[in-house]
Structure 1
Amino acid sequence: MSAHFSTSDTHYQEALATFEAQIAALRRSQLRIAANFSSAISLILDCVQRNRGKVVVTGVGKSGIIAHKISATFASTGTPSVFLNASEALHGDLGMVGQGDVVLMLSKSGTTLELIKMIPTLQRVGAKTIGIFGNIQTRLSEMLDVVLDGSVEREACPLNLAPTSSTTVALVIGDALAIALMQAQNFRPADFALYHPAGQLGRNLLLTAADVMHKGERLPLIAKEESLKSAVLILTQKNLGALCVCNAKGELEGILTDGDIRRWLTKSDNLHEKVENLMTAAPTTVAPSDTLAQVMSVMENPNKQIYIVPVVEGKICVGLVRMHDILQQ
C-alpha cells in the first residue's frame, strides 16, 4: 500500500528539506568546479587516448562507495576504469596503477591518510592525479595535478555529520566527468551496447526484429477473404495474439488482433464476417533490420501504442514481433 503525505506532514517536511539542501549544494558545486573541470577532462583524455591508460578511482568509507560507482560509470561509457580500495592499495594493490594512468581520489576532508600515503608511489610510477575534495585547502590538494572543488556548506544531515550532500556532490561531479568524456570520445549507442551485452539495455541495442520475430510456420497468416471463424481457429492455433492479413503474394494488407475480434463480438455474433471488415488496414510495421530499441520506440509511440507489430521486407510480411518477445530475458 502506497503512503500518502500531506504538505504538513513532519516527516515529509524533513524529506523536502533534505532534497532542498542537496539541490542547493549541487547548484553551488556547478560554479566551484568551473575553474578546473576542463583541465580534468584534458588530463583523462590524454591518459586514455595517447597513453592508453585507465582511470583508477579511489576513496575511503562513503567516499569509497561513491568512487566505486563513478569507476563503474566510466567503464560502461567508454573510459577504461577500475576501482581501487584505498586501504588495500597500501598493501600491494597499488600495483594495478601504471605509467600513463590517472588516479581519481575522492575525499570529503581532503586529508585522508590512505590517499596521502599513495602519493610517493604514484609519483614514482608516473601516474597523474585528480582529486574531488570537500576541502581543497590542504597539503594533499597541493600535491595533485588537478583538484575539483566538491565542498559543501553543510550536510543535509541535521547533525551535519553523516555524508549526504557531500557524497551527492562527489557523485554528480563524477557523472559529469563521465558524460563529458563520452561526448569527447564520440561514444555512440553501438559502443554502449558493446559494453552491455546482458540485460535489457544490451538486448535492445544489439538484437534486431529479425532476431526475435515469429516467422515461417510460427507466423500466423490469413487472407482478407477468410471468415472470422477461420481467423479464430488460426489465432488459437498460433497463440500469438494477432494475425497478419496477406494476399497470395505474401504482401501485408492488414492486421487482425484478438482485441479486434473481442470488440466485434460485443456487437455481433456473426462468425462468417470477412476478415477485411475487422482488420486494421495499412498497419504500423517495422523492418527486419530495426533494432529492438527502434521497435520499442514504434510500439510506444504515444499517438498509437501497440503491443504487436508485423515485420515487413519490401511489401512482404516476414514476421511478427510482440512486446513480450522484446522484454523476455
Structure 2
Amino acid sequence: MRERRIQTLGDLSRATKQEGHNVIEELEADLITEVHTLKEAQQQSAELLSQGQGVLLVDTTLGNVRRIIDEGNKRFAGNANLELYARMIISALHGGSEPTDYTDLIASWTGLSRDHIQTLDIRNSGSPQELDTSIKAVLFSGSPSHLPNIGSGKEIRPGITDADVYNRSLAVWREAVKAGLPEFGICYGLQRGAKHVGMDILQQPGRSQAGEATQIVTQEGVDIISMLGCTTDPSELAGRISAFRSDEVQGTPDPRFASILFTPHDLDPSMVFGLIHNPQGTGTSPEIIKQVLAAGQSAGLDIQGHPEIRRGERARISAGAGRNLDNIPLRLNGSDQELSTAMLKMMTEFFRLHKRAERA
C-alpha cells in the first residue's frame, strides 16, 4: 500500500503512527541541515555581539510568545504524531529546551547566550534609562499591539494600551539614536520605525499573515546588501521568511531618512517588507549609511518578517495562533530558500560596520 502524501499538520495529525514517524524523521534531517548552515552565521554574530553588555532586546511581545507556544502545544496534545513533531522541533532547533520567552527565541537564532542579551520588557512602565555605553546594538521585537489603534485608549493587556507600547518603544529608539547605537527591528519594529518617518501603517485583517511569506529585494536593497558584503549574491536575501502580522506598512519614505529594501512577492507589491534608516536625515545611499555607521552614529535595519521563527517552529506557532491545521504546511514546494541564516548574516554585517564594533 502506497504511503499517503503528508503535506500539512492536518495530514500529519491523521496519519498512522508509522507514517508520521517517517515524515518527522525526514523533516528532522532537513532542519538539522539548516541548523548546521546557521551555525557559522551564529558564530560570527556571537563573536561580534558578546562583548561588553551584548545587545539590548526591546521586548514588545507582551508575553505573547509563551502564550502562543503553549496554545500550539495544547492543540497538539493527545495526538501522537503532533506531540512527536513538537518534541522534534524542541530538540532540533532549541537543543532540547523549550523556549520560555522571546529572549530564548532570539538567543536560539543569534547564537548569543542569555547573558549577552539584556531584555527590556515594554510592559514595565516608566521612561527608559540612559543606555549602557557597552551595549553593541538594540533589537526591537514584534508585538500583538496595533499602531492604527493608538488613539483608542483600550487596554490590550492589563494596564497597557497600544499607545503605551508605541511611546515606550519609540522612547528607547530615541535613546539609541542619542547613544549612537545601531538597531535591528522585527515586524512591529519595522512598523514603529516606518510610522516615525511618516509612512502609513494600515490594519488589513483580510490580508493578514500567520505563517510564511516570500520577500524580494528592491534595487536599493541590492545596493545596501552589496555594501554590507554579507553575500556576493543579493538574491540570497530573497526567499521565504516567517510572517505573523495583520498590519502593513505602505507609502514611500523621505529618502533622507529611510529607503525600502524588501517588498513581498506574494502580496501587494506596494507593501513594505524592509527599511534602512538614517535618523540623521543625511540620506540612505550605501555610501552614506557606511559613513554614518563608521562615525559611530545610529542607523537602523528593519524587516517585516520574523527570521527568529525558523521553519518547523513556524508551523507550531501558526497552530498556536489559531490557523487551520490543514493550512499549515510541513513541506513547502518551490525553490524559495529559507532566510533565517541570510538575515542573521545581514544583521551581523550591518552591526559590524558600526564604530562601536571596533571595541570588541
TM-score (norm: length of structure 1): 0.30
Return the index of the structure with the highest Cα Rg.
Answer: 1
**Which structure is richer in relative contact order (CA contacts within 8 A, separation 6 or more)?**
2
TM-score (norm: length of structure 2): 0.28
